[in-house]
Amino acid sequence: MAAPLGACPVQIGQYDRVVLGHGSGGRLTHELITQLFVPAFHNPTLAALEDQASIALDGVRRLAFTTDSFVVSPVFFPGGDIGKLAVCGTVNDLAAGGAVPRHLAASFILEEGLPLADLRRVVESMRAACDEAGVSVVAGDTKVVERGKADKLFITTTGIGWAPEGRRLSIAAARPGDRVVVSGPLGDHGMAILSVREGLSFQTELLSDCAPLGGLAEVMLRASPSLRCMRDPTRGGLASALNELAAASQVGVVVREPAVPVRPEVRGACELLGLDPLYVASEGRMVAVAPAAEVPALLDAMRGHPLGRGAAEIGEVVADFPGKVRVQSSVGGDRLLLMLSGEQLPRIC
Amino acid sequence: MAAPLGACPVQIGQYDRVVLGHGSGGRLTHELITQLFVPAFHNPTLAALEDQASIALDGVRRLAFTTDSFVVSPVFFPGGDIGKLAVCGTVNDLAAGGAVPRHLAASFILEEGLPLADLRRVVESMRAACDEAGVSVVAGDTKVVERGKADKLFITTTGIGWAPEGRRLSIAAARPGDRVVVSGPLGDHGMAILSVREGLSFQTELLSDCAPLGGLAEVMLRASPSLRCMRDPTRGGLASALNELAAASQVGVVVREPAVPVRPEVRGACELLGLDPLYVASEGRMVAVAPAAEVPALLDAMRGHPLGRGAAEIGEVVADFPGKVRVQSSVGGDRLLLMLSGEQLPRIC
């Protein structure tokens, strides 16, 4: 039995109402989770703030369990749609924890008036993503709300998978001297969504990188026996992933900005819109931390996988400035990479 | 790999767009599920149309897995709120499958502008329901959408639990001669919601029956070693639960209407609004089918549990008219109890 949360009304930071920033994946999301949800539901599994819960099962395996709601707008975007995203996002949270994704539950909230042709297209896309990821949808639910009470459709997917005993990946496991790697160029998903919303057009169309990362994660686990952790840098981008890691492991992280892979068209779109690519969401990339000695084999293995061809080492873990992330720019200066504050790109996933 | 679903656009029955009835829990929901979701995600677990998926785990236990989105309006209602409902609804789907509910994932879709005091009240209510049900929320997610793109908050809960090997409850397991029992008066939840929405007032306030049924289900499993199945009669009420059972087991079901417990105030409100209580949702009741010989012990055991005091035998399973449900009224006539068609009570859960 947890302690009562205290008397209402509540305030978190300066807010007494939900603002878009509470869904940003940045500082406000973190405050909402740590100040409201974690105290209410208090248990060590939830409080670990991993992207997936790990439940003891038997002597040999652990069960990994994760959930995500998807509210992306527009529903269809270059390189994917809400259905593909709903499968990949949940599969990737399991994969990042070192688990083999196996089963999904999918729950739909539909707005009255949604064309059934759109729903079918989304569902077919989910099925294709499931086939690619090697998972099956074994449970589901459908609710319908009146026109104007939702926005076309929202999908919540919950995944379960098996994690082998003996491997414990955790954002609390990074140690000074470890290296940070990413599996490919960052920010494609966020900028693909934004380019549609803002009506931007580029010589090369920006496509979401949305993809299921279970296979890549398996390759990484084999190549780096002491791999510390993996995270898919979705909402809040690389900046959020590394800040959460730095806080949980009580280490500092140094990122060498010129080493971070970003496509020229993504960089260009970011400049046009005044955004920092280090904060922009990817939906088919993995960030990982590994001991320095294992990084050459890890990068080799990643580059041999279709979804890891652009893998690169981008920084390192240090003992200085625990809990903080610093970026060394190409011109030699360096700056603190804070968690996203406020909302940069609402409804990116 | 499933076969393609065919070319878009689609039509299901007379509809090419989502209508409120697709969320009713009745015939249109059934058509949407069987004609769109099941073919797309085709696998035997989903196609069984149980309220929970059953996954082989090891030689001793099975994993039960279920998901539900909650969009009830109003968010706070007499006897509960969307948070309590989100915990009980999912716990009850696990319990109905004979599983012991253990872990929940909770995903929130919040509308910009929602008072944080409301969110805290909902979350505290979830926590209290979790404590009562013996489950913990171990994974979660929060998304925020712009004002006017959702209705205050939607919650999706996904539950996992353990089912002992050797007990297989299924809506396909009913046999002629079996009896149908319910755990208490039906329709309290639906009429509590509707009375608030319609501004009805009664001498006695109508309270939702929303409650976690894991403990009651355990008692029932012990008392009836050959218990065929349990279902919580939520959306679509007793009528939907029994029609799904009749179809899955290919049996007929006869319901003796005077034996069905319904509170006088619920019956009165139904008459006022032209509703049939057999279609109105409960959120803390169990319907079960058991061999006739086990029914006396089953009813005794149920009545000894605080949530089963009003337990009653209400009908029986027959070999005639397979797939259909007939109701014998108090005046001697009888009628076919069809699945709900269209939408009776939108956003009841």
Label each residue of chain B as H, E or C: CCCCCCCCCCCECCECECCHHHHCCCHHHHHHHHHHHHHHCCCHHHHCCCCCEEEECCCCEEEEEEEEEECCCCCEECCEEHHHHHHHHHHHHHHHCCCEEEEEEEEEEEECCCEHHHHHHHHHHHHHHHHHHCCEEEEEEEEEECCCCCCCEEEEEEEEEEEECCCCCCCCCCCCCCEEEECCCCCHHHHHHHHHHHCCCCCCCCCCCCCCCHHHHHHHHHHCCCCCEEECCCCCHHHHHHHHHHHHHCCEEEEEHHHCCCCHHHHHHHHHHCCCHHHCCCCCCCEEEECHHHHHHHHHHHHCCHHHCCCEEEEEEECCCCCCEEEECCCCCEEECCCCCCCCCCCCC
Closest-CA distance, A3 to chain B, in angstroms, reads 10
Whole-prediction pTM value?
0.94
CB contact, 8 Å: B35 with chain A? no
Contacts of residue B16 in chain A, CB cutoff 8 Å? 115-117
What was the pLDDT predicted at B62?
Answer: 85
Contacts of residue A31 in chain B, CB cutoff 8 Å? none
Contacts of residue A19 in chain B, CB cutoff 8 Å? 112, 144
Average pLDDT taken over every residue of chain B: 92
What was the pLDDT predicted at B58?
Answer: 64
Q: What is the pLDDT of residues B225-265, one digit of tens each?
A: 999 999 999 999 999 999 999 999 999 999 999 999 999 99
Contact B144 A22 (CB under 8 A): yes
Q: What is the phi-psi region of residue B237: left when phi exceeds 0, alpha when psi lies from -120 to 50, beta otherwise?
A: left
In the Cβ-directed half-sphere of B98, how many Cα atoms lie within 13 Å? 24
| Gap between the Cα atoms of B318 and B316, Å rounded | 6
Report the candidate in A85, A68, A71 with the shortest Cα–Cα distance to residue A159: A68
CB contact, 8 Å: A331 with chain B? no
Contact B116 A11 (CB under 8 A): yes
What was the pLDDT predicted at B184?
Answer: 98
**Cα-to-chain-centroid distance, residue A274:** 22
Report the candidate in B346, B308, B283, B306 with the shortest Cα–Cα distance to residue B84: B283
What was the pLDDT predicted at B2?
Answer: 42
| Gap between the Cα atoms of A208 and A212, Å rounded | 12
Q: Work out the pLDDT band at B211, boundaries 50, 70, 90.
A: very high
**What is the helix, strand, coil percentage profile of chain A, to 5?**
35, 25, 40
What was the pLDDT predicted at A314?
Answer: 98
Closest-CA distance, A209 to chain B, in angstroms, reads 21
In the Cβ-directed half-sphere of A124, how many Cα atoms lie within 13 Å? 16
Return the sign of the alpha-carbon dihedral for residues A20, A24, A28, A30: positive
**Contact criterion met (CB below 8 Å) for B206 and B269:** yes
Contact A108 B69 (CB under 8 A): yes
| pLDDT < 70: residue spans in chain A | 1-9, 57-60, 203
Contacts of residue A44 in chain B, CB cutoff 8 Å? none
Contact A139 B65 (CB under 8 A): yes
**Contact criterion met (CB below 8 Å) for B174 and B264:** no
Contacts of residue A103 in chain B, CB cutoff 8 Å? 53, 55, 65
**Contact criterion met (CB below 8 Å) for B124 and A5:** yes
Contact A110 B22 (CB under 8 A): yes
What was the pLDDT predicted at A284?
Answer: 98
What was the pLDDT predicted at B3?
Answer: 44
Alpha carbon separation from A200 to A191, A265, A329, B65, B200 (Å, rounded): 10, 11, 28, 43, 53
Pull the structure tokens for residue B68: 């539900």
Report the candidate in A183, A205, A213, A196 with the shortest Cα–Cα distance to residue A88: A213
What was the pLDDT predicted at B45?
Answer: 84
Q: Work out the pLDDT band at B337, boundaries 50, 70, 90.
A: very high
pLDDT higher than threshold 80 for residue B4: no
Other C-beta atoms lying within 10 Å of the C-beta of residue B33: 18
DSSP state of A36: I
Q: What is the pLDDT of residues B140-187, one digit of tens each?
A: 999 999 999 999 999 999 999 998 777 889 999 999 999 999 999 999
What was the pLDDT predicted at A2?
Answer: 42
pLDDT higher than threshold 80 for residue B1: no
Q: What is the pLDDT of residues B40-68, one digit of tens each?
A: 998 888 888 888 888 876 666 788 999 99
Contact A53 B139 (CB under 8 A): yes
State percent of chain B over pLDDT 70.
96
Contact A65 B346 (CB under 8 A): no
Closest-CA distance, B48 to chain A, in angstroms, reads 10
State percent of chain B over pLDDT 90.
78
| Gap between the Cα atoms of B236 and B280, Å rounded | 6
What was the pLDDT predicted at A58?
Answer: 64
What was the pLDDT predicted at A3?
Answer: 44
What was the pLDDT predicted at A5?
Answer: 52
Q: What is the pLDDT of residues A103-144, one digit of tens each?
A: 999 999 999 999 999 999 999 999 999 999 999 999 999 999
Report the candidate in B188, B282, B278 with the shortest Cα–Cα distance to residue B232: B282
**Contact criterion met (CB below 8 Å) for B292 and B177:** yes
Contact A69 B108 (CB under 8 A): yes
What was the pLDDT predicted at B172?
Answer: 95
The residues with which A109 forms a beta bridge, in sequence order, are: A143, A154
Interface of B with A in 301-330 (CB under 8 A): none
For strands A100-111 and A136-145, give the pairing.
parallel
Domains of chain B (ranges; CATH) run: 40-164 (3.30.1330.10), 179-336 (3.90.650.10)
Closest-CA distance, B292 to chain A, in angstroms, reads 32
Q: Work out the pLDDT band at B222, boundaries 50, 70, 90.
A: very high
Q: Token match 């399991």: residue? A: A94
CB contact, 8 Å: B34 with chain A? no
- Is A313 in a helix, a strand, or coil? strand
Interface of B with A in 93-152 (CB under 8 A): 103, 105-117, 119-121, 123-124, 126-127, 130-131, 136-146, 148-151
Residue in B20, B58, B121 nearest the CB of A58: B58
